[in-house]
Homo-oligomer: A and B are copies of this chain.
Amino acid sequence: MALEGVLRPGHIALRVLELEPAVRHYTEVLGLHETGRDANGRVYLKAWDEHDHHSVVLREADEPGMDYIGFRVDGPATLDRLASAVKDSGLVSDCKWIEAGEHLQTGMRFRFTVSTGHAIELFAHKEKIGTATGDVNPDPWPDGLRGMSPSRFDHCLLYGDGFDDTVKLFREVLGFSLTEQVVTPDGLQIAAFLTCSNKAHDIAFIRHGEKNKFHHASFVLDSWGDVLRAADLISKHDVALDIGPTRHGITRGATIYFFDPSGNRNEVFAGGYIHYPDKPVITWHEKELGRAIFYHDRKLNDAFLTVLT
């Protein structure tokens, strides 16, 4: 099989300060679809082109941030194999199995904490509830789209110390490719963009003084025109804008960043390139960090660097 092992970021679990304003944001502004609520009050959401039951899970809490991100692997055997390999890697802590059904319509999940402090999950099963266009003679997009209506949850960016071991785990144990990196003049890697697919990134890490910080969850749009429409919707809904529309040097994506009502950062973006594992790693020098992150401004805004949840 040409695509195997870890397939994609399958869900991200976010903490929000108040559930209903958050649900309104993620459904009406971002444009995800609510697919269920569980006995713990968690709300499950998916984007219109995702077949799996959910890709975002919201939980009310005292502080915003990310509880965990879960990756879909290609089957139960891979789940067992990767769980063992992760456990034996010496690079993680707090390994445990979460029973099937703890997430709605989801099988067993193997959870562990990486050295940057983030909880990561692997799972092999989630019910496919399909999409509104169906799989027989489908239209290219469904009726009734709301808000920015990204087609998929795409990736997230996480900050933490213990950066090297986390990058090592993703590359050597989980089979991710390094697509792009930022290095200091001394050659220290301070940012790593990692993919398990042909996408420019499925997860990314920034070397940072504090563990377990969340920068943003990102969702994919079709076009630069959709980024403008997203920007207009941000203003129409009085959503807090971080920066954009602009382009990233890293990944080439055309992008806009904004905040959910609890202060968790969201991104919607379009474009990029097709990654292959034999493609040379793209390296950005720290002095070009401005251009790397925001290709047009060529400088970083304070909020982008310092607001983490």
A210 interface residue (CB < 8 Å to B):
no
Count identical subunits in the complex. 4
A225 interface residue (CB < 8 Å to B):
yes
Are the CB atoms of B245 and A284 closer together than 8 Å? no
* A23-60 CB contacts (< 8 Å) to partner B: 49, 51
A271 interface residue (CB < 8 Å to B):
yes
Q: Is the interface of A mostly helix, strand, loop or mixed?
A: loop
CB A178 to nearest CB in B, in angstroms, measures: 12
Knowing A140-B249, A232-B296, A296-B235, the reply to whether A177 touches B225 (Cβ < 8 A) is: no
Chain B residues contacting A197 (CB-CB under 8 Å) are 2-3, 198, 274
Are the CB atoms of B5 and A232 closer together than 8 Å? no
Q: How far is the CA of A274 from the CA of B199 in the complex (A)?
A: 9
Chain B residues contacting A245 (CB-CB under 8 Å) are 245-246, 296
Interface string of A167-188 (1 = CB under 8 A from B): 0000000111100000000000
**Closest Cβ neighbor of A271 among chain B residues:** B222
A288 interface residue (CB < 8 Å to B):
yes
CB A282 to nearest CB in B, in angstroms, measures: 5
A302 interface residue (CB < 8 Å to B):
no
CB A35 to nearest CB in B, in angstroms, measures: 17
**Closest Cβ neighbor of A281 among chain B residues:** B135
Q: How far is the CA of A66 from the CA of B41 in the complex (A)?
A: 59
Chain B residues contacting A276 (CB-CB under 8 Å) are 3, 7-8, 72
Which of B128, B139, B283 contacts A135, CB < 8 Å?
B283
A89 interface residue (CB < 8 Å to B):
no
A224 interface residue (CB < 8 Å to B):
yes
Q: How far is the CA of A222 from the CA of B177 in the complex (A)?
A: 23
A141 interface residue (CB < 8 Å to B):
yes
Chain B residues contacting A6 (CB-CB under 8 Å) are 2
Knowing A130-B280, A140-B249, A296-B241, the reply to whether A235 touches B4 (Cβ < 8 A) is: no
Q: How far is the CA of A284 from the CA of B58 in the complex (A)?
A: 36
* A1-18 CB contacts (< 8 Å) to partner B: 1-8
* A129-165 CB contacts (< 8 Å) to partner B: 130, 135-141, 143, 151-152
Known interface pairs A1-B177, A140-B295, A241-B298; 13 further A-B residue pairs with C-beta atoms within 8 A, sorted by A's residue number: A1-B5, A2-B5, A2-B7, A2-B174, A2-B195, A3-B196, A7-B276, A7-B277, A7-B278, A135-B283, A198-B198, A220-B274, A224-B228
Q: List 15 A-B contacts (CB under 8 A).
A: A2-B3, A2-B175, A2-B176, A2-B177, A2-B196, A4-B4, A51-B279, A128-B280, A135-B280, A140-B247, A151-B273, A152-B274, A231-B296, A245-B246, A245-B296
